Amino acid sequence: MAEDHQKVMNKKYPAVVFTAPNEVAVGSVERAVCGPTEIVIRTRYSMISPGTELRMLAGHYGAGDKFPYVPGYSSVGEVIDVGAGAKGWRVGDLVSARNTQPFADARALWGAHSAVKVLSTTDTDRPVLLPAGVDLLTYVLCEIGAIPLRGIEAAAPKPGETAIVVGQGLIGALAAAWLVRAGCRVAVVDFEESRLERARRNGVAFTVSPADPDLKERLKVFTNGGADIVVEASGSTPGVELARSLLRRKPQNYSPEYTVEPIMFYGGDWPRLVFQANYLETMPWNPDHTAPGEGVIIITPRDRGTEERQRVVEHVRAGRFNAKDFIDAIIPYDRAPEAYAGLKARKLFSAVIDWKGAV
């Protein structure tokens, strides 16, 4: 381990760099000095977040005036140095990591796509400990997987409830997987047959394309009139309009006739609408159309906490979640631009960067 420590002291090391809008390169950066309550990890794999990172690459989400910078927020690796005050951490620990401390000579937004990084152990960016001796590839989705887990847990799904996920990019696919694991009857919507096929392999009960002329009617047949939970994961105005239209009416009220009951009779049983994507457009909103039965719970998760991250780790450890079901390509770090090109052209569903040999 002393040799590993020496390799990363006062040295440049590889990182993915967004050099300009829609331009990706592999550059080199100098890591920050490891502070008293910080640790240094050698990255083994980092996972590209297709939605967030591609939009940032295009200059959105406040990235327009930040180029060049190191992107990414999801990685797994091994601890190779521990600050004197980082009590409880050991060299050799395996971790799921988010973000990084600032580089010595480069901007980070959020800097996870780097061969070596410094992590705080005392704030919200602290790493999560993984079981000893595991295959790190199986845990590479813990950070990204925790984002839809937060939204699904907030919706409090019950076994036997019906759920629809609009959009089957990575976040939507993971949201559907968590709903399946919660015991729901799940339907998903996406234009791409390959994504629908992946959903079926992962336990989804019903799939349909938005191009189907009977799209809403098919989904309402599947849900017996409307879904208990609808997750909007497309990030588009048509997706939002579709999602809100698929919520069920009042429990067991399938009649088109107007009826009035005491509103709190159903107060604990409203359908749930989860917005699990990021949105670039400003959309008109009609509350009356969004709450078909006088009430709906709207959930807008924005991130993930340490608790969700740790729960994903436990799902993986217990065999309830397999990251490899959601990985299309594993690409060496020196070919990272190919991964972004493949995702942008929609030739890849997802991509992992392999940092073997980078340090």
DSSP 108-165: EEB--SBSEEEEESSSTT--EE--TT--GGGGTTHHHHHHHHHHHHHT---TT-EEEE
pLDDT of residue 1: 46
- Full residue range of the structural domain in which residue 87 is found: 2-140+327-354
Confidence class of residue 2 from pLDDT cuts 50, 70 and 90? very low
Cβ neighbors of 296 (< 8 A, separation 6 or more) are 247, 270, 271, 272, 273, 290
Q: Is 310 domain-assigned?
A: no
What does the alpha-carbon distance between residue 193 and residue 306 come to, in Å, rounded to a whole number? 34
Question: Is the domain of 289 the same as that of 338?
Answer: no
Q: Which of 90-94, 245-249, 290-294 has the lowest mean pLDDT?
A: 290-294
pLDDT of residue 287: 75
Question: Is the domain of 96 the same as that of 159?
Answer: no
Kindly tell me if the per-residue pLDDT of 229 is higher than 80.
yes
Q: Is 289 domain-assigned?
A: yes
Question: Is the domain of 225 the same as that of 132?
Answer: no
Question: Is the domain of 102 the same as that of 29?
Answer: yes
Kindly tell me if the per-residue pLDDT of 264 is higher than 90.
no
What CATH number does the domain containing 117 carry? 3.90.180.10
Number of structural domains found in the chain:
2
Q: Is 321 domain-assigned?
A: no
Provide the token pair at 42.
């050698």
pLDDT of residue 332: 98
The answer to whether residues 332 and 356 touch, using CB atoms and an 8 Å cutoff, is yes
pLDDT in tens, 300-336: 988 888 999 999 999 999 999 999 999 999 999 999 9
Provide the token pair at 72.
């990414």
Question: Is the domain of 120 the same as that of 198?
Answer: no
Q: Is 312 domain-assigned?
A: no
pLDDT of residue 130: 98
Question: Is the domain of 164 the same as that of 238?
Answer: yes
Q: Could you say which of 299, 319, 335 is where a domain stops?
A: 299
In the three-class reduction of DSSP (H, G, I as helix; E, B as strand; rest coil), residue 289 is classed as: helix
The answer to whether residues 322 and 141 touch, using CB atoms and an 8 Å cutoff, is no
Global confidence as pTM: 0.91
- State mean pLDDT over 181-205: 97
pLDDT of residue 173: 97
Q: Is 136 domain-assigned?
A: yes
Report the share of the chain in percent with pLDDT over 90.
79
Q: Which of 141-155, 224-238, 240-254 has the lowest mean pLDDT?
A: 240-254
Question: Is the domain of 201 the same as that of 292?
Answer: yes
CB atoms within 10 A of CB 281: 8
> Is pLDDT larger for residue 160 or for residue 269?
160
Question: Is the domain of 175 the same as that of 134?
Answer: no
Highest mean pLDDT among 4-18, 114-128, 249-263: 114-128
What does the alpha-carbon distance between residue 32 and residue 103 come to, in Å, rounded to a whole number? 5
Q: Which of 49, 52, 42, 55 is nearest to 15 (CA)?
A: 42
Question: Is the domain of 130 the same as that of 258?
Answer: no
Confidence class of residue 76 from pLDDT cuts 50, 70 and 90? very high
Q: Which residues are paired to 109 by β-bridges? A: 71
pLDDT of residue 262: 61
pLDDT of residue 289: 72
> Is pLDDT larger for residue 139 or for residue 32?
139
pLDDT of residue 283: 81
Q: Is 240 domain-assigned?
A: yes
What CATH number does the domain containing 259 carry? 3.40.50.720
Question: Is the domain of 216 the same as that of 273?
Answer: yes
- State mean pLDDT over 157-181: 97
Kindly tell me if the per-residue pLDDT of 55 is higher than 90.
yes
pLDDT of residue 320: 93
Q: Is 350 domain-assigned?
A: yes
Question: Is the domain of 99 the same as that of 229?
Answer: no
Question: Is the domain of 163 the same as that of 117?
Answer: no
pLDDT of residue 246: 94
pLDDT in tens, 124-140: 889 999 999 999 999 99
Q: Is 316 domain-assigned?
A: no
